[in-house]
C-alpha cells in the first residue's frame, strides 16, 4: 500500500497501486508512484492509425490555417483499408511528408466519403413545429418566436447511423448505434455523452419524449457493450468516458413520462456504470483525520498516445518534451482531461501557461464526485421503483458515505465552496495531497445541484466570487487562452448553478438564479440575432460575443446551448414587458 502524506488537507490518503482493474482494463501495475503512466490502454482499430497518417499528411500539405484534425479521422472508406493504404503509399511526397495539394485532394475524393456522410439526417418522429403547451410561461411574442426557432433546430441536429455502418463497420470510425440521436453540431457530428443531458432537457421542454428516450437507449447500448458510456460514438472514443450523467437523463425522462420499463431496462446498465467509476483506475480511497474511510472517483483515460481526433495537435503540445515516458504521461493526462469534459482549463494544470503540466489523473474533482453522488441517489430511487429494495438500500448507504466525503474532503469553510484536491507524487513510495485548489471555478458549486447542503453560505460565496459576470457565469477567473477558462461561459455550467440556486428553497437564491438566467438568455439571443446561429460557448463579459480559445474555432448548432435556453425559458418564462435586448 502506498501512503499519501498530508500538509494542508487535514486527511491521510491510502491509495493502493494494486488497483482492481476491470477485465476490459487488465494491465500490470507498478509499485512506484513516480511511474505515473502505468495504467491500461485500450486497443484500437487499424483504420484509426491509418487515418492519423492521412491527418498528418494533410497538415503538412495544406498547412495549419483552418486545419481541423478531426475532419480526417471522421472519414469513412469507399473500399477496403488495404487497397486504400496501397494507393496512399504511392503518393509522391516531399521531404516533409507533404504531397501536392491537388494530388491529396484527388486521393481523398477517390478513396473516402466525407466526414459525417455515414450519418443520415432523420426527422424526429415526435417533432411538431409548435408543440401543445410549449413554454407556457413565455408571454413575450419575440421570445416565443425565437424559442420556436431554437426548438426547430432539433430537426437539423437529428441523425442516425447509415445502414453501411452496421453492414461494414470496418470502413468507419463511427460506431453503429441502435437509435436516432441528436448531435451537438458542426465538427461534433456524432452523439456525445454529457452533452446529451442538456439536449434531453431541451427535448423535454419541446415535448419530444421519444427522441429523448432514444438518446438514452444509445447510451445504455454503450454500457452494455463496453462497460461504460463512451465519450462519443466513435471508435477513437472507446478509451474514455465523460461526466457520468446517464442516471440524471433517465431521472428527467421518468419524471415526465412515468415510464417504468425504461427504469427496469436502465438499472443493470447504471449498476455497471457505477462500478466503472468506483473500481480500478477511477477509484481512490481516502482516510480522513478522524479515521473515516471515503471512496472517491477521479478521471483516468485508458490511453497514453495522442488522441486520434487531435493527433497532430497533441504531438505539437508534447514536442517540448524530450523523454518518451514524459510524452506518454502527457498524452494520458490530455485524454483524461478530455474525459472530464473540461478540455482544457487551468483547473487541471500545475502551471497555468503550460499545457504540458496537466495533472488531471492526480486530482480529486468536486464535480465528478457530485455526479457520482447523484448517480447513487438515482439508482437508490430507481431500484425502489423497480422493487429492488436491497439495491435501493445499498446505494442509499453509498450516497450517504459519499456525502460525508464532501464535508470532510472537498468543503472549504473559509471560502464556503467545495474545492478539488490535488495529489502529487513525492517520491517512489509516497504520495502527497499537497493542497486544495483554491482558485475559483464554476465547478466549485456543482454539489449544490445535487443536494441543498448549506445553500445560503454557498449562494453568498458565489455572489462575491467574481464568477457571476454581466452575461452569465464564467468558467474560471484565469484568462489562459484555454476554452474552459475566463471569459468563456458554457451552457452546462450556467444550467447546473442556476437550477441549484432555484431549487435550494431560498427565495433570495431563486431570484439570483432567475437574474443569471436572464443574463444568459439575453446574450444567447443577441448572438443569434447577429449570426443566425446558436453557439457552443459565449464570452460572458460582452453581450452576444462568441466564446473563443482552445483547439478549434467556435462551433455552432448547438445541442446543449439550445437545450439550456429552452429549459431556462420553461422554468422562468419571460414576461411580456421584460426587455430581451442587452
Residue 56 a catalytic site member: no
The residue from 113, 140, 160 where one domain ends is 113
Residue 174, H or E segment? none
Phi (first) and psi of residue 175, to 5 degrees: -90, 140
Q: Where are the alpha helices (DSSP H) in 42-99?
A: 46-62, 69-73, 81-89
d(CA 485, CA 487): 6
The structural domain count of the chain equals 2
Q: Is there a domain that residue 516 lies in?
A: yes
**Annotated catalytic residue, options 314, 536, 570, 571:** 536
Residue 480, H or E segment? none
Question: Using an 8 Å Cβ cutoff, are 458 and 422 in contact?
Answer: no
Q: Is there a domain that residue 541 lies in?
A: yes
**Annotated catalytic residue, options 343, 403, 533, 571:** 343
Q: Is there a domain that residue 354 lies in?
A: no
Cβ neighbours around 531 below 10 Å, total: 13
Q: CA geometry: angle at 519 spanning 514 and 521, to 5°?
A: 90
Q: CA geometry: angle at 570 spanning 370 and 340, to 5°?
A: 25
CA 43 distance to own-chain centroid: 22
The residue from 72, 90, 113 where one domain ends is 113
Q: Give the structural domain span for 78.
A: 57-113
Under the phi-then-psi rule, with left for phi > 0, alpha for psi from -120 to 50, and beta for the rest, what region is 481? left
d(CA 376, CA 372): 6
d(CA 125, CA 203): 12
The residue from 113, 130, 161 where one domain ends is 113
Question: Using an 8 Å Cβ cutoff, are 563 and 536 in contact?
Answer: no
List residues bridging with 418 in a β-sheet: 411
pTM, to two decimals: 0.93
Each residue's pLDDT, cut to its tens digit, for the chain (582 residues) gives 333 444 444 433 333 332 333 333 333 333 345 445 678 999 999 999 999 999 999 999 999 999 999 999 999 999 999 999 999 999 999 888 889 999 999 999 999 999 999 999 999 999 999 999 999 999 999 999 999 999 999 999 999 999 999 999 999 999 999 999 999 999 999 999 999 999 999 999 999 999 999 999 999 999 999 999 999 999 999 999 999 999 999 999 999 999 999 999 999 999 999 999 999 999 988 776 677 778 899 999 999 999 999 999 999 999 999 999 999 999 999 999 999 999 999 999 999 999 999 999 999 999 999 999 999 999 999 999 999 999 999 999 999 999 998 988 899 999 999 999 987 655 443 344 558 999 999 999 999 999 988 899 999 999 999 999 999 999 999 999 999 999 999 999 999 999 999 999 999 999 999 999 999 999 999 999 999 999 999 999 999 999 999 999 999 999 999 999 999 999 999 999 999 999
Question: Using an 8 Å Cβ cutoff, are 208 and 150 in contact?
Answer: no
d(CA 48, CA 2): 37
Q: Which three cell numbers stand for residue 513?
A: 438564479
pLDDT of residue 425: 57
Q: Which three cell numbers stand for residue 309?
A: 481526433
**pLDDT digits 0-9 by tens, 33-62:** 544 567 899 999 999 999 999 999 999 999
Q: Where are the alpha helices (DSSP H) in 364-506?
A: 366-385, 389-405, 447-450, 455-465, 491-502
pLDDT of residue 289: 66
Question: Using an 8 Å Cβ cutoff, are 205 and 567 in contact?
Answer: yes
Show Cβ contacts of residue 437 under 8 Å, excluding neighbours closer than 6 positions: 347, 363, 419, 420, 421, 422
Task: Return the DSSP state at 409.
Answer: I
Q: Is there a domain that residue 122 lies in?
A: no
pLDDT of residue 19: 33
Residue 117 a catalytic site member: no
Q: Is there a domain that residue 44 lies in?
A: no
Q: Which three cell numbers stand for residue 351?
A: 502551471
Q: Is there a domain that residue 277 lies in?
A: no
Q: Is there a domain that residue 79 lies in?
A: yes
Q: Is there a domain that residue 1 lies in?
A: no
Amino acid at each position: 500500500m502506498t501512503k499519501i502524506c498530508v500538509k494542508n488537507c487535514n486527511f491521510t490518503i491510502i491509495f493502493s497501486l494494486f488497483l482492481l482493474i476491470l477485465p476490459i482494463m487488465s494491465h500490470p501495475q507498478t509499485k512506484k508512484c513516480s511511474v505515473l503512466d502505468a495504467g491500461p490502454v485500450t486497443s484500437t482499430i487499424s483504420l484509426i492509425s491509418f487515418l492519423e497518417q492521412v491527418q498528418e499528411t494533410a497538415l503538412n500539405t495544406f498547412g495549419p490555417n483552418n486545419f481541423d484534425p478531426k475532419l480526417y479521422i471522421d472519414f469513412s472508406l469507399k473500399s477496403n483499408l488495404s487497397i486504400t493504404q496501397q494507393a496512399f503509399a504511392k503518393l509522391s511526397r516531399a521531404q516533409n511528408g507533404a504531397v501536392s495539394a491537388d494530388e491529396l485532394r484527388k486521393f481523398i475524393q477517390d478513396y473516402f466519403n466525407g466526414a459525417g456522410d455515414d450519418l443520415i439526417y432523420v426527422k424526429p418522429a415526435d417533432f411538431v413545429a409548435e408543440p401543445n403547451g410549449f413554454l407556457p410561461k413565455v408571454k413575450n411574442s419575440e421570445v416565443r418566436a425565437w424559442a420556436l426557432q431554437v426548438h426547430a433546430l432539433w430537426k437539423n441536429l437529428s441523425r442516425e447511423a447509415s445502414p453501411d455502418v452496421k453492414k461494414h463497420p470496418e470502413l468507419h470510425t463511427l460506431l453503429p448505434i441502435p437509435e436516432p440521436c441528436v448531435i451537438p453540431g458542426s465538427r461534433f457530428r456524432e452523439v456525445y455523452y454529457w452533452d446529451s443531458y442538456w439536449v434531453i432537457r431541451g427535448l423535454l421542454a419541446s415535448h419530444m419524449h421519444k427522441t429523448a428516450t432514444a438518446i438514452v437507449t444509445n447510451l445504455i447500448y454503450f454500457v452494455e457493450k463496453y462497460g461504460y458510456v463512451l465519450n462519443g460514438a466513435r471508435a477513437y472514443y472507446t478509451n474514455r468516458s465523460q461526466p457520468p450523467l446517464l442516471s440524471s437523463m433517465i431521472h428527467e425522462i421518468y419524471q415526465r413520462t412515468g415510464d417504468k420499463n425504461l427504469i427496469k431496462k436502465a438499472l443493470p446498465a447504471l449498476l455497471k456504470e457505477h462500478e466503472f467509476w468506483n473500481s480500478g483506475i477511477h477509484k481512490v480511497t481516502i482516510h480522513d483525520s478522524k479515521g473515516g474511510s471515503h471512496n472517491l472517483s477521479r478521471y483516468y483515460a485508458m490511453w497514453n498516445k495522442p488522441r486520434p481526433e487531435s493527433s497532430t495537435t497533441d504531438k505539437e503540445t508534447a514536442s517540448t518534451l524530450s523523454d518518451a515516458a514524459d510524452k506518454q504521461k502527457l498524452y494520458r493526462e490530455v485524454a483524461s482531461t478530455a474525459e472530464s469534459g473540461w478540455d482544457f482549463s487551468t483547473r487541471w494544470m500545475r502551471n497555468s501557461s503550460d499545457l504540458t503540466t496537466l495533472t488531471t489523473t492526480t486530482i480529486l474533482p468536486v464535480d465528478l464526485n457530485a455526479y457520482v453522488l447523484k448517480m447513487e441517489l438515482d439508482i437508490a430511487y430507481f431500484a425502489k421503483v423497480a422493487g429492488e429494495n436491497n439495491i435501493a438500500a445499498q446505494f442509499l448507504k453509498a450516497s450517504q458515505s459519499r456525502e460525508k466525503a464532501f464535508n470532510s474532503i472537498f468543503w472549504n469553510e473559509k471560502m464556503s465552496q467545495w474545492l478539488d484536491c490535488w495529489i502529487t507524487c513525492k517520491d517512489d513510495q509516497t504520495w502527497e495531497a499537497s493542497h486544495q485548489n483554491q482558485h475559483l471555478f464554476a465547478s466549485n458549486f456543482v454539489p449544490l445541484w445535487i443536494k441543498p447542503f448549506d445553500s445560503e453560505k454557498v449562494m453568498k460565496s458565489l455572489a462575491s466570487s467574481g464568477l457571476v459576470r454581466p452575461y452569465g457565469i464564467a468558467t474560471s477567473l484565469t484568462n489562459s487562452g484555454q476554452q474552459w477558462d475566463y471569459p468563456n461561459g458554457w451552457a452546462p455550467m450556467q444550467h447546473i448553478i442556476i437550477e441549484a440556486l432555484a431549487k435550494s428553497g431560498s427565495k433570495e437564491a431563486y431570484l439570483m438564479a432567475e437574474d443569471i438566467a436572464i443574463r444568459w438568455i439575453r446574450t444567447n439571443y443577441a448572438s443569434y440575432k447577429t449570426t443566425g446561429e446558436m453557439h457552443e460557448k459565449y464570452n460572458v463579459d460582452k453581450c452576444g460575443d462568441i466564446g473563443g480559445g482552445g483547439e478549434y474555432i467556435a462551433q455552432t448548432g448547438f445541442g446543449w446551448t439550445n437545450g439550456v435556453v429552452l429549459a431556462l425559458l420553461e422554468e422562468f418564462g419571460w414576461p411580456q414587458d421584460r426587455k430581451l435586448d442587452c
